[in-house]
Amino acid sequence: MTDTATQIAETIAANDVVLYMKGTKEMPQCGFSSRVAGVLNYMGVDFKDVNVLADADLRQGIKDFSDWPTVPQLYVKGEFVGGCDIVTEMTLSGELDTLFDTKGVAYDKDAANKIREANG
């Protein structure tokens, strides 16, 4: 495993929810990263944000690690969930709630329902 892959694996193992994104949860640098961070923030999920723009090795390394070509990438309890489209779809279908429930991740169920109502 490369140093970058080791770093990624350690970060994912050390945090229940990790979002590899462009920018930070306070200052997203792309619309897709902003959307996923916004959903997690709105739902009150405690997550670790990792800015891939700060490190070129990490930016490529996370794509190699997951074998997924784009950022953002969401990990929950060590499991790769997906990118913006998948997270959006899972949020609207209720699958994200189920995943958080199954994995024991705290979130605001009312907020999750509000997202669905607003997009229903």
Note whether 96 and 42 are within 8 A (CB): no
Q: Length of the chain, please? A: 120
Q: Mind listing the pLDDT tens digit for each residue in 7-41?
A: 999 999 999 999 999 999 999 999 999 999 999 99
Q: Residue 26: which domain range?
A: 3-119
> pLDDT-based confidence at 66, cuts 50/70/90?
very high
* pLDDT of res. 120: 78
CATH number at residue 55: 3.40.30.10
CA 40/CA 88 separation, integer angstroms: 11
Please give the model's pTM, rounded to 2 decimal places: 0.96
Note whether 17 and 47 are within 8 A (CB): yes
* pLDDT of res. 2: 80
* pLDDT of res. 6: 97
- The tally of domains found in the chain comes to 1
